[in-house]
Structure 1
C-alpha cells in the first residue's frame, strides 16, 4: 500500500468525521435526534520482510448513539405526563363549575327548604305556596343545569377519544411504513439508516403520548408495538386499525375497539392506559362518572324522600298528597347484541333514598334466572321468582323485569346516571301542596283524668288500601282493666315501649302504658298521664286547612340524615361530591407536577447519552479538520517523494 493510499484513506475518514459532526450540529434541535459518531478501524496491514506495515484506515460504521433503557424510561414518563395533564385539564372544568356559587347546588337547596318553611308559617296563603313551587322549579333548573354541563363534558370526552384514536391510527401506519423501509435498508448490519430510525423513534414517542406502549424488537431492525395487556398495534410492516363506536348500552358513550373486515370488536377500558387516550378514559370512569352519579344520588334521594313525605300529607282540597317531584327512573341500557327474539323489558325505579348507591348494575340472563350484579363490588342478587309478582328492591331500586328472554340477554342499569338531568317538579297546582297532616287528635272537655294524646302522625302504611280514616276513631279507657278499646275492628294494634313492640290482634283491648307509642293502620300516637275511667281520646281525619304539620316534616328533611344509609343530609351528599372533585383535582395536579419533573429528569438522562453537545461537536470539528489537513499533508509528502523519484531517472 503506497503512502498516497494511506493519506487518501485518512482523508476520506476525516471527511466522514467532518460530515457526521456537521450533521450532528445541524440536527441538534431536532426532537428525537440521536447523535451519530464515526467508528474507524485500521485496514489490514501489509506483511514485508521487515514486518507488518500499516495500510491506513477505514470507516467501519456511522453509529447512532442510542440507549434503549434510557429511551424506555423517557417513554414511560412522557405517557404518564400526557395522561395526567389530560385528566387534570378535564377535572379542573368540573372543579371550576362546582366552585361557581352562581351555579352551585347548595344555595338552591337552601332557598327551596326556606320556601317550605315560609309556606309552613302560613299554610293557607296561596302566595307562599306559589313561592314554594317557584323555588322547586329553580332547584330543578339548577340540577338540570349542572347535569347538562356534565353531559357537555362527556360529549367533549367522546370527541377527544375519537380524535386520539385517529392520531393513533395515523402514527401506527407511518411507523409500519418506516418499519418496511428500514427493513429493506438493513441488509448490512454495519450500515443502518440512522436518520430513518430516529424518525421512527420520534413517531413512537408521539404515539406514546396518545396511549402507553410496549415496544419490542422484530426482524430486520423492525419494531413491534402493542398497548394494554398486549393488544397489537404495529406488527412489522402492518398496522392494526383501531376505531370508535357508540357503546352497545349507551349511544351517548364512545368506546374503543378494533376494526377488522368491517366488524367492530370493543376493547375493555382497562386495557387503555396512559397518554391522552388513557387520560380521557380514566377521567370519564373515575372522575366524570363518579361526579355525575353522586349528583344524581342527591337528586334521586331528594325526589324520593320528599315525595314519600308529601304523600303522607293533605292538600287544601282535603285530598292526600301525590308526587311533588317526578319519579326518578334509572337509566336502562339494552345490549344491542341481545337476541332478536327477546321481548324482555327492564324498568328500575328509585324507591328508597337511604339505601341508594352510586353503583351501576349488570343484569344477565343465564338461561334460567336473571342475575343482578352490582358493578362496584360484584355482589349478585337473583331475581326470584321470575316471572315476577312484584318488583324486587335491590339497594333502594325496584327492579321490574317483564317479557321472555331470547338467549343470554344482557342489560345495564344506572340508577343515578340521569337522575339530575331528569329531576323535575311534577306538581303544578299550588293548592295541591300537602302541608297538612291527614289526621288530628283531640281530648273532650268531659274527661276527668289527666291523660293527654299526642298530635299523632302517619307512616307509609297509612297509604295502603283501607287504612285511611273515613270517620273519627274514639278510644275509651277502662281503668279497672287498664286497657283501651274502640280501635277499628279489623286493625291490629302495635304498642312500642322502650323500643320493644307488642302486637295485639284486631278487636282485643289494648293495655295502657304511659308514653307508649300506639300504631294502627299506619297511624302513630301516644297517650300520657293518668286517664280516668271512661275517658275518651279521638283520632279524626285531617281537614287540610290551617295545618302545617306535614309541611314541618317536609322542611325537616333538609337536616335529616337520609342518604348513605341514613348518615348524610342532601347538602352533605352534595358537599361530598364537591370535596371529591376538589381533592381529585388537587391530587392529579400534584401528580402532574411530579410527572413533569420526572420527564425533565428522564429527558436529561437520555440527552446526556444521545443528545448533541455543541461544545463537544465544535471540538470534534477542530479534531477532524486537523486530521483532514494532516492526511492531506501525507498525500503532499507522497507526491513530493514521487516527483523526486521521477527526477532521479532523468
Structure 2
C-alpha cells in the first residue's frame, strides 16, 4: 500500500508539472521567440520484491524546449540576409528615384541647356536668346549641385544609421553576455528554457544588424563571432564595436572591434549581412561611385564645353573665355602619413575620367597608383607623372616618407563645385573669330572657300589678313602674320586644309593661277553662329568614357547601372523574405505552440492527474480497510 501511495503521489506530481508546462505553453502562445516546452517523464528505479521487480512510479526528468539548432540557425542566417536586402534595396531606391526623376534629374536640365543654346545659334545677335541661355546654364549648374547635395544628405543619413546600428549591436552583445552568465549559473538539472528563449531572440535581433556565427560552450554560454571569426561575445564578456574616421575622409566611418589592451581590429571589409553590412555596402559600392560619376560628368562636360567656347568670339568681338569654372580634382592625405608632402592632381584628359577612386602609395622611392574599385595598379618612379586616368600627379609642397599614401577622387567635387565663369549674355562666344573670303573682283576661277574652323586661338586675333594665292599647283601664303606667312600646300579640290596651324577650311572647285583667298578677323560678326553650332553639336559627340559615350550616354549609363542594382536589390529582397518565411514556418512547425495540440494535452494530463489521485484514494481505502480489520 505504501508503494501504491508513493506511485500515486509520483504520478500526481508528474502530471501536475505536465499541466503546469501545458499552461505555460498556452499562456505564451503569442510571445515573440517562445519555444514550446514539454515535460520529459521517466520511470523511477524499480524495487526487487522476491518474485521480480516492481515499479515505483514516475518522475520528471526535465522540462525541455522542442528545439532544433539547425532550424534556428537557418532563421538567424536568413534574418541577416533579409535585413541586409531590405536595407540595401531601400537605400538604392532613393538614388534610383533621384537620378531618374524628370523634375530634378540631370537629363531635363541638359536638354534645356542645349535647346537654349540652339536658340542662340538660330539668332546669335539676340540678347533675349542669350539671356535665356544663361538662365538655363544657371539651372543646369544648380541641378548638378542639387543632385550632389541630395547624395550628401544620403551620406549623412547613412552615417547616422551606421552609428545607430553599432549602438544596437553593442547593446545586444552586452545583453547576450549577461544572459550567458544567468544561463550558466542557473540552478538545477533542467535548462533555463525561458532564458534560452530570450537569448535566441537577442541573437536573431543581432543577426538582423550584422551576420554572426555562434558556438555554444559546455557551460551553456553562447560565443558570438562577426567578420572572419572575430569575437563579439565570449562567455560572460562582450567586446565593443567602435567607429572611427576613415584615414582619408573624416566624413566616412570605419568599424573596428576593441579587444582591450590596445588591440583593435578594423572589420569594415569583413562585415557582411544585416543592416550594418547593407549600410557599408551601399556607401562603398553605390553611393561613392554614383557621386564620383556625377562629378566626373560635371568635370568632363565643363572642360569640353570650355574648350569649344574658348575657340569662339563673343558679341563684343573678344575671344571666348571659359564658360564654366572647372572643378578641381580632390586629393586627400592619409592621416597616418609621416611626411609633409601635398599631392596635386591636374586634369589632363576629361574623356578618361570615371567614377573610380585611386590610392597613391609611396615606398622605396617609387609610386603605386591603385584603382580601389578593381585593384588594377600603375607604377612609376617619380613625379610629376601623367596617368592613364585623365589626370597628372605632382608634389605641390613638402616631402614624402616611406608608407605615405593619398586618395585621389577625380570626380568627387565636380557636381558640388561646378560654377559659371561668365555671367553676361554678350560674353557667350557664339561666333567664330575669323572668316574667309575670295577676291571676287579679280579671281577668274570658280573655286570657293568654306567659312573655316578654328582649332587654336593662341595666334588670334590676326595681326593682318592671311592671303593665299594659287600658282597653278600649290596654294601659297603670300602675306600674313607668323606663323602662317610663307606656308605653302598642294591644292586638292574639296580636301580639308590643315596646313595653317590652328585653322581648318576647304577650297573646292577649279581656281585659276593668281586667284587669291583671304582669312581675316571676324570683325562685327554679331550674326555669326558658327561656334554656337559647334558648341550645340557637343551633345552628339562621344566626349566621355575614353571617347565612347556622349554626355547623355554617360549619364544614361549611370542611371541604368543604378536601375539594374535597384532591380536586383528588389529581387534579392523578395527572395530573402521568402526564404526567411519558409525558415520561420519550419521552425514554428516544430517549436511553435499549437493551441489545439495543447488543448488535447491539457485534457490528457488532466485525466492522468485524476487517475493518479484515484490511485491515492484507492491506496487510502485499502489502508483504512486494513486498519479496521486490525482493530476488529
TM-score computed with the length of structure 1 as normaliser:
0.91
CA 384–137 in structure 1, closer or farther in 2 if over 3 Å, else same:
farther
- Per-residue deviation, 1:166: 0.2
Corresponding position of 1:430: 425
Moved more, 99-108 or 82-91: 99-108
Corresponding position of 2:572: 591
CA 255–155 in structure 1, closer or farther in 2 if over 3 Å, else same:
same
Moved more, 640-649 or 514-523: 514-523
Does 1:639 pair with 2:605?
no
Moved more, 365-374 or 37-46: 365-374
Does 1:477 pair with 2:470?
yes
- Per-residue deviation, 1:487: 8.2
Corresponding position of 1:623: 604
Corresponding position of 2:491: 512
Conserved 8 A contact 1:179-1:222: yes
Corresponding position of 2:44: 43
Corresponding position of 1:453: 449
Corresponding position of 1:309: 308
Secondary structure of the residue aligned to 2:546 is helix
Conserved 8 A contact 1:257-1:264: no
2: CA distance, partners of 1:263 / 1:392: 42
Corresponding position of 1:496: none
Corresponding position of 1:133: 134
2: CA distance, partners of 1:434 / 1:318: 9
Moved more, 431-440 or 52-61: 431-440
| 1:261-293 CA distance string (max 9 Å, x none) | 596957354322111111222222233233323
1: CA distance, partners of 2:450 / 2:423: 33
Does 1:536 pair with 2:536?
no
Corresponding position of 1:420: 415
1: CA distance, partners of 2:153 / 2:374: 29
2: CA distance, partners of 1:218 / 1:194: 16
1: CA distance, partners of 2:30 / 2:479: 94
CA 483–521 in structure 1, closer or farther in 2 if over 3 Å, else same:
closer
- Per-residue deviation, 1:46: 0.7
Secondary structure of the residue aligned to 1:328 is coil
Moved more, 546-555 or 598-607: 546-555
| 1:333-354 CA distance string (max 9 Å, x none) | 2211111xx2222232444332
Corresponding position of 1:335: 334
Alignment of 1:523-562 (within 5 A): 523-543=503-523, 545-546=525-526, 547-562=528-543
- Per-residue deviation, 1:194: 1.3
TM-score computed with the length of structure 2 as normaliser:
0.94
Conserved 8 A contact 1:243-1:264: no
Secondary structure of the residue aligned to 2:53 is strand
| 1:347-395 CA distance string (max 9 Å, x none) | 3244433222111111111131232222232222235542x2xx62432
Secondary structure of the residue aligned to 2:420 is coil
Secondary structure of the residue aligned to 2:370 is strand
- Per-residue deviation, 1:596: 1.8
CA 20–415 in structure 1, closer or farther in 2 if over 3 Å, else same:
same
Secondary structure of the residue aligned to 2:344 is strand
Corresponding position of 1:501: none
CA 263–570 in structure 1, closer or farther in 2 if over 3 Å, else same:
farther
Secondary structure of the residue aligned to 1:531 is coil
- Per-residue deviation, 1:317: 3.4
Does 1:377 pair with 2:369?
no
- Per-residue deviation, 1:532: 1.6
Q: How many aligned positions are there?
A: 626
Conserved 8 A contact 2:434-2:521: yes
2: CA distance, partners of 1:136 / 1:263: 55
Secondary structure of the residue aligned to 1:2 is helix
2: CA distance, partners of 1:642 / 1:543: 135
1: CA distance, partners of 2:45 / 2:232: 47
Alignment of 1:226-305 (within 5 A): 226-259=225-258, 265=264, 267=266, 269-305=268-304
Corresponding position of 1:167: 168
Conserved 8 A contact 2:467-2:480: no
| 1:466-523 CA distance string (max 9 Å, x none) | 57643222222221x545354879759xxxxxxxxxxxxx967422222333323222
CA 70–376 in structure 1, closer or farther in 2 if over 3 Å, else same:
same
Secondary structure of the residue aligned to 2:603 is helix
1: CA distance, partners of 2:185 / 2:344: 61
Conserved 8 A contact 2:291-2:355: no
- Per-residue deviation, 1:582: 3.0
Corresponding position of 1:357: 354
CA 469–216 in structure 1, closer or farther in 2 if over 3 Å, else same:
farther
- Per-residue deviation, 1:47: 0.8
Q: Which runs of 5+ in 1 are unaligned?
A: 493-505
Moved more, 527-536 or 320-329: 527-536
1: CA distance, partners of 2:153 / 2:461: 47
1: CA distance, partners of 2:270 / 2:4: 65
2: CA distance, partners of 1:227 / 1:204: 12
1: CA distance, partners of 2:263 / 2:152: 25
Moved more, 429-438 or 360-369: 429-438
Corresponding position of 2:121: 120
Conserved 8 A contact 1:305-1:352: no
Conserved 8 A contact 1:95-1:585: yes
| 1:535-585 CA distance string (max 9 Å, x none) | 222222333632221111111112222222333222232222333333332
Does 1:605 pair with 2:586?
yes
2: CA distance, partners of 1:262 / 1:331: 37
Corresponding position of 1:402: 396
Conserved 8 A contact 2:367-2:382: no
Corresponding position of 2:323: 324
| 1:192-248 CA distance string (max 9 Å, x none) | 111111111110000111111111222411111112222221112111101223322
1: CA distance, partners of 2:156 / 2:474: 70
1: CA distance, partners of 2:82 / 2:185: 35
Conserved 8 A contact 2:214-2:224: yes
CA 227–306 in structure 1, closer or farther in 2 if over 3 Å, else same:
same
- Per-residue deviation, 1:625: 1.0
Conserved 8 A contact 2:466-2:481: no
Secondary structure of the residue aligned to 2:539 is coil
Moved more, 306-315 or 533-542: 533-542
| 1:409-429 CA distance string (max 9 Å, x none) | 111111122211212112123
